[in-house]
């Protein structure tokens, strides 16, 4: 979305690499080759992953992928993601992003990808089936969800990032899963923030100007991407804002103001 919007693919990747170096954990090896295990039955694969048993989890995911394909693995965890309302919604956004990334990989990249996927699902979904309370579905519309996410966009725009990924990956989800995730996001955007520090700084928000027009929007997005090197969310949030602006141009002014706010946060 960003490369298409700004036509600077190499510059975007170069800047993203800088952000990753400054704000991410680097892991060199892959583990499924060094972790040996006999052929695992399906129920053992599920048990290992549900309980987060390492290092066997690496082999469990690898064998599951080899036996059933990644589509089945993704579908299994998409159901789990739709059944839980998680603060910041990483259970949804990272899962959808990883499914999209998988489609771009060559066979030599898949083992390392599956290692990262294993670490994500075990840290996110282990024992989720034992949680007593499940989110109660809320009947809502896309328009209501968007309005709520603009009103309370959350830490580094996570609510808007989640909405953008749901729209981008709608065709990868069943109608029931999509609606459940949308409902969870609506509840999240209308609930008190778990971390008070994530509240919108009203003084800083008051300094932001509601400027209409695509030129102002793109200028602020360009600033959000390239003027700072401290947080990888700069890229993911800018990408989300661009997708939402293209889908809902009538909200350009609101999204532009949010982009300016995030730039001010990065200057602190």
pLDDT digits (tens, 9 = 90+) for 80-125: 999 988 999 999 999 999 999 999 999 999 999 999 999 999 999 9
- pTM: predicted TM-score of the whole model, two decimal places: 0.90
DSSP assignment of 126-159, as one string? TTGGG-S--PPP----HHHHHHHHHHS--GGGHH
Which of the given ranges, 52-56, 84-88, 242-246, has the highest pLDDT on average? Answer: 242-246
DSSP, collapsed to helix, strand or coil, labels residue 227 as: coil
CB 96 within 8 A of CB 169: yes
Percent over 90 (pLDDT), the chain: 75
Structure tokens at 214: 């695509």
Structure tokens at 121: 């699902």
pLDDT confidence band for 23 (50 / 70 / 90): low
Residue 89 Ramachandran class (φ > 0 left, ψ -120 to 50 alpha, else beta):
left
pLDDT at position 122 is 97
Least confident range from 30-34, 155-159, 205-209: namely 30-34
CA–CA dist 159, 98 (Å, integer) = 18
Q: Is the dihedral of CA 174, 115, 11, 210 positive or negative?
A: positive
pLDDT of residue 220 exceeding 70: yes
Buried b (16+ CB within 10 A) or exposed e, 147-181: ebbbebbbbbbbbbbbbbbbbbbeebbeeebbbbb
pLDDT of residue 151 exceeding 90: yes
């Amino acid at each position: 979305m960003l490369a298409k919007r700004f036509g600077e693919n190499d510059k975007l990747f170069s800047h993203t690499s800088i952000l990753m170096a400054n704000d991410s954990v680097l892991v060199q090896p892959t583990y499924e080759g060094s972790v040996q295990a006999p052929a695992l039955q399906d129920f053992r694969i599920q048990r290992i992953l549900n309980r987060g048993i390492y290092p066997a989890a690496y082999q469990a995911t690898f064998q599951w992928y080899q036996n059933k394909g990644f589509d089945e693995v993704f579908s299994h965890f998409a159901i789990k993601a739709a059944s839980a309302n998680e603060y910041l919604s990483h259970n949804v956004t990272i899962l959808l992003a990883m499914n999209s990334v998988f489609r771009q990989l060559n066979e030599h990249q898949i083992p390392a990808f599956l290692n990262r996927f294993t670490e994500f699902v075990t840290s996110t979904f282990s024992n989720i089936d034992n949680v007593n309370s499940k989110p109660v579905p809320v009947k809502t519309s896309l328009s209501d969800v968007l309005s709520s996410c603009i009103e309370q966009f959350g830490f580094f725009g996570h609510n808007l990032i989640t909405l953008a990924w749901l729209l981008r990956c709608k065709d990868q989800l069943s109608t029931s899963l999509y609606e459940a995730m949308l409902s969870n996001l609506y509840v999240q955007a209308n609930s008190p923030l778990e971390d008070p520090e994530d509240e919108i700084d009203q003084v800083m928000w008051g300094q932001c100007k509601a400027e209409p027009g695509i030129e102002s929007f793109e200028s602020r997005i360009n600033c959000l991407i390239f003027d700072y090197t401290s947080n990888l969310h700069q890229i993911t949030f800018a990408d989300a804002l661009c997708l939402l602006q293209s889908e809902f141009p009538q909200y350009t002014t609101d999204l532009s103001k949010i982009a300016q706010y995030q730039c001010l946060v990065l200057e602190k």
